[in-house]
């Protein structure tokens, strides 16, 4: 029996299944959660999705009525976690990624736990762990679960649509080096199940608001800083600047990748002042330019080699100055020719 067959056996044996994913929801955490939920339902079982916080608005074309949020309904999430006899931990490798409230609930839970994730250095708290760091996304691993447990015939449009979204967003529309031949094999199975991929692209990308575009335009025209000696681009946005453009969660998503599109850029850093801290997004190109080490060593973060996150309790200017001082230590000096 392979590990995916073991997971199906645990699903079949459970009476109260809870699916969790990391704080600061994204396309992969939402997509893998809903894809797994619909697969479990197709197996004839019931489950509930409990997430720490709301997903960005541009993902709300998905049906998220099955998702209970800790930030909105703490009592219900607490009750669900305490009743659970099986908890799935999707798209995170450490309990701290749930945020303090849900972290405490997960660590207090004595039921069986299953991790399905693709980030480096997973903690060993689950009973079963699928940790495939070369996988493009957790959504890809959910497709592997469906197929390798012997249930590929259950994959349909409802299950496949959020899983396609998860793969799409976590690969930067299939341009990151995490995309491997197997990724496309998985995508082919999803499309064969009837998923209309062009509609997903439209719903994901054609949802800009005027305020989001104005914020991004301001960020690029007024806040872009390029460290030419090291080919690194930085954008910093204060809480006042975000408020000026009616910031909503997700409005700055994609800015770091936009910076990386500048000719010659090795890395990009975008940080925004929210909830009293600087939330930082790191992106880079190539194995020779990892950003997860910088994030983990100096910004209480981590992630993939070319896509990581972090935070800073310093002010905007202090965080910016800290970055300027650290960049030369992590990125070799090289003249940029534009």
Buried-state track 172-193, b at ≥16 Cβ within 10 A, e below 16:
beeebebbeeebeebbebbeeb
pLDDT of 336 higher than 60: no
Half-sphere exposure of residue 289, counting CA atoms within 13 Å on the CB side? 24
CATH number, domain containing residue 272: 3.10.310.30
**Percent helix, percent strand, percent coil in the chain, to nearest 5:** 45, 20, 40
Interatomic CA distance for residues 305 and 299, integer angstroms: 15
Q: What percent of the chain has pLDDT over 90?
A: 83
Q: Does residue 168 sit in the same domain as residue 305? A: no
Cα atoms found within 13 Å of the Cα of residue 244, Cβ hemisphere only:
12
Same domain, 221 and 315: yes
- The residue ranking higher by pLDDT, 295 or 302, is 295
Q: Is residue 266 part of a domain?
A: yes
Q: Residue 144 and residue 279: Cα distance in Å, rounded?
A: 32
- What is the pTM assigned to this prediction? 0.85
Tens of pLDDT along 141-170?
A: 999 999 999 999 999 999 999 999 999 999
Q: Are residues 130 and 176 in the same domain?
A: yes
pLDDT of 108 higher than 80: yes
pLDDT digits (tens, 9 = 90+) for 177-213: 899 999 999 999 999 999 999 999 999 888 888 999 9
Range of the domain at 42: 3-205
Which among 155, 178, 205 is the end of a domain? Answer: 205
Q: Is residue 336 part of a domain?
A: no
Together in a domain, 132 and 24: yes
Nearest to 162 by CA among 62, 44, 17: 62
Q: What is the mean pLDDT of residues 239-268?
A: 93
- Both 256 and 297 in one domain: the answer is yes
What backbone phi and psi angles, to 5 degrees, belong to 114?
A: -130, 125
- What confidence tens digit (pLDDT) does each residue in 309-334 have? 999 999 999 999 999 999 999 988 76
Q: What is the pLDDT of residue 335?
A: 53
Strand partners, 274: 277
pLDDT higher than 80, residue 284: yes
Q: Is the pLDDT of residue 118 over 70?
A: yes
- Domains identified in the chain, total number: 2
Across the chain, mean pLDDT equals: 94
């Amino acid at each position: 029996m392979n590990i995916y067959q073991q997971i199906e056996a645990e699903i079949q044996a459970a009476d109260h299944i809870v699916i969790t994913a990391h704080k600061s929801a994204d396309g992969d955490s939402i997509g893998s959660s809903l894809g797994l939920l619909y697969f479990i339902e197709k197996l004839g079982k019931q489950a509930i999705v409990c997430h720490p916080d709301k997903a960005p608005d541009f993902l709300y074309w998905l049906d998220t009525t099955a998702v209970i949020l800790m930030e909105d309904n703490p009592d219900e999430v607490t009750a669900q976690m305490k009743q659970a006899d099986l908890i799935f931990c999707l798209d995170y490798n450490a309990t701290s990624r749930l945020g303090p409230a849900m972290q405490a609930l997960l660590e207090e839970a004595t039921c069986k736990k299953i991790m399905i994730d693709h980030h480096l250095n997973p903690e060993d708290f689950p009973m079963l762990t699928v940790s495939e760091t070369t996988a493009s996304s957790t959504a890809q691993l959910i497709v592997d679960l469906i197929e390798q447990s012997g249930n590929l015939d259950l994959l349909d449009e409802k299950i496949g649509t959020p899983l396609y979204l998860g793969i799409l967003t976590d690969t930067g529309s299939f341009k990151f080096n995490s995309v491997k031949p197997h990724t496309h094999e998985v995508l082919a199975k999803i499309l064969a199940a009837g998923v209309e991929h062009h509609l997903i692209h439209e719903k994901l990308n054609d949802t800009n608001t005027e305020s989001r575009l104005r914020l991004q335009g301001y960020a690029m025209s007024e806040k872009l800083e390029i460290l030419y000696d090291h080919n690194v681009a930085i954008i910093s946005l204060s809480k006042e600047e975000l408020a000026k453009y009616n910031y909503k969660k997700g409005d700055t998503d994609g800015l770091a990748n936009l910076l990386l599109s500048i000719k010659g850029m090795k890395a990009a850093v975008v940080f925004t002042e929210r909830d009293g801290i600087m939330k930082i997004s790191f992106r880079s190109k190539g194995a020779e330019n990892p950003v997860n080490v910088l994030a983990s060593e100096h910004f209480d973060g981590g992630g993939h080699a070319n896509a990581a996150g972090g935070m800073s309790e310093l002010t905007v200017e202090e965080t910016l100055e800290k970055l300027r001082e650290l960049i030369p230590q992590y990125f070799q000096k090289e003249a940029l020719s534009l």
